[in-house]
Amino acid sequence: MVDPRGPVATLAAGLERVPAGGTVLVRPGRYRLTAEVIVAKPVTIAGEGLPVLEGSGPHGLLRITADSVTLRGLVFRNVERSYIEDRAAVKLDSIAGCVVADNRFERTFFGIYLKGVRGCRVVGNRLDGHRDGVPAGGNGIHLWNSAAVVLEGNEVTGHRDGIYLEFSTGARVTRNRSTRNGRYGLHFMFSHDCEYSDNAFLDNGAGIAVMYSRRVAMRRNQFAGNWGPAAYGLLLKDINDSEIEDNRFQSNSVAMFIEGSSRLRVTGNEFSRNGWAVKLMANTEANRFEANRFEGNAFDVATNSRGNTSAFAGNTWDQYRGYDLDRDGYGDVPFRPVRFFSLVVQEHEPALILLRSFFVELLDLAERVLPILTPETLVDERPRMGGRR
């Protein structure tokens, strides 16, 4: 047992005494760490009454180098910023089977840093960074070169990126809440066969970025309030053979931006009150949009090409003005979701000031009647009825 008023007054002393497989119980109080503490044997470190491990100096707080370590019920506070090293409150280094659960992280540079780990779980933690913006911040939960990691039920705010993954496979990211981070709420690159479900990514500086990965599943997430000239609800770049299902995109500058991506299945999503619901670049191909709902967006679909190899089918559009004579629930005439005015804005952004004008409505009407500039193949042949309310 570690107690600031007892014979074992420091965590380092408690770790020296505990046998492998044992438990270090940390009593309530404030423990000042003047150097990084190394956990080199499989133990459980459990806090009683949320004891505070507080950094003092240019170093991280805990470095775990043993398999099967559990951290639970602790407060990690104050990790100084650095521009040359990734200092973290908790760093897990080349290990397996560890658990970091139900802890709090306050004013930390990097919160939880997982490097070369396998089969670890990060569950139910609350992380609050320095809130100093992109240049000064580290990431809340950072994975590098790791496999089969579970991130579940964490709350992350005030960091550079809330959750960051690179060269990691088989991750399961579920029921997390990532808000008000300086750059991305979620950012991952070169990470294959991962699943992201039931998360909330809200009010982040640049939204969410998913890049250079294959076989990604994103289901039942909320992307909202990501506003700014370079902000996205979800940015997909060079993503292939992936599924985006049953997500909600609300009040984003661009809800979904797709570049260089192929064979995506985008189904059952709700796009509401966004600037652009979907921006589909010319270097995308063979993507399918089905059974999505588009409502209250300034532009439902925009593109930078007249060519298109993606398919739209059975989506609900609040701008659809067709009819359903056979009453099968689908419109009898196709719907072209790319507005002529979106092409104008693509080339001349200041033209947005005319968005609600009668002149723009006339331009769009003329293009719908006789399409000349909008993509001929970007069309929903069977739009679902019920988009107008």
* Res. 296: pLDDT tops 60: yes
* Confidence (pTM): 0.90
254, part of any domain: no
What is the tens place of the pLDDT at every residue in 32-86? 999 999 999 999 999 999 999 999 889 999 999 999 999 999 999 999 988 888 9
Reported confidence tier of residue 365, pLDDT bands at 50, 70, 90: low
Q: What percent of the chain clears pLDDT 90, i.e. is strictly above it?
A: 72
52, 30 in Cβ contact below 8 A? yes
Residue 344 has pLDDT above 60, yes or no: no
Give yes or no for residue 322 having a pLDDT over 60: yes
Query: Average of pLDDT values for 178-190?
Result: 95
Structural domain includes residue 389:
no
Phi, psi of 360 (to 5 degrees): -65, -40
Give the up-direction half-sphere exposure of residue 270: CA atoms within 13 A in the CB hemisphere.
12
Query: Is position 269 within any domain?
Result: no
Q: Could you give the C-alpha distances from 95 to 121, 134, 168, in angstroms and in order?
A: 12, 29, 14
What does the DSSP 8-state code read for residue 228?
Answer: S
> Is residue 359 scored above 50 in pLDDT?
no
Write down the pLDDT at residue 353: 46
Q: 253 lies in a domain? A: no
Q: Compute the distance between CA of residue 70 and CA of residue 388 in angstroms, rounded to an integer.
A: 53
In this model, does residue 268 exceed pLDDT 60?
Answer: yes
Q: Whole domain around residue 149: which residue ranges?
A: 1-205
CATH number at residue 164: 2.160.20.10
Is 297 domain-assigned?
no
Count of structural domains, the chain: 1
Q: What is the mean pLDDT of the chain?
A: 89
pLDDT, mean of residues 181-201: 96
Q: 282: pLDDT confidence band, cut at 50, 70 and 90?
A: confident
Q: What is the largest CA-CA distance in the chain?
A: 86
Which amino acid appears at position 222 of this protein? Q
Instruction: Identify which of 102, 105, 104 has the alpha carbon closest to the alpha carbon of residue 78.
Output: 105
Lowest mean pLDDT segment, chosen from 115-119, 301-305, 356-360: 356-360
Cβ atoms within 10 Å, residue 118? 16
Reference 257, options 191, 206, 306, 316; nearest CA is 206
| Beta-strand pair 195-197/155-157 | unpaired
Return the pLDDT at 354. Answer: 45
**What is the per-residue burial (b if ≥16 Cβ within 10 Å, else e) of 7-41?**
ebeebbebbeebeeeeebbbbeeebebeebbebeb
* One-letter amino acid for residue 45 of the chain: I
State the pLDDT at residue 303: 84
pLDDT at 99 over 80: yes
Q: Which residue has the tokens 């043993």?
A: 66
* pLDDT of residue 195 exceeding 50: yes
Distance CA 138, CA 153 (A): 20
Q: Higher confidence at residue 244 or residue 387?
A: 244
- Half-sphere exposure (Cβ direction) of 247: Cα atoms closer than 13 Å: 26
- Token pair in block for residue 306: 């007249």
Note whether residue 355 is domain-resident.
Answer: no
Decide if 26 is inside a domain.
yes
Note the pLDDT of residue 82.
87
Out of 97-101, 139-143, 247-251, 327-331, pick the least confident.
Answer: 327-331
> Buried b vs exposed e over 58-94: b needs ≥16 C-beta within 10 Å?
ebbbbbbebbbbbbbbbbbbbbebeeeeebbbbbbee
pLDDT digits (tens, 9 = 90+) for 148-160: 999 999 999 999 9
In this prediction, residue 321 carries a pLDDT of 84
Distance separating alpha carbons of residues 113 and 364, to the nearest angstrom: 51
C-alpha Rg value of the chain to the nearest Å: 25
Tokens of 207: 């939204």
**DSSP secondary-structure letter at 4?**
T
Q: Does residue 75 lie within any of the structural domains? A: yes
Q: Which alpha helices (DSSP H) does the chain contain, by range?
A: 11-17, 340-347, 358-369
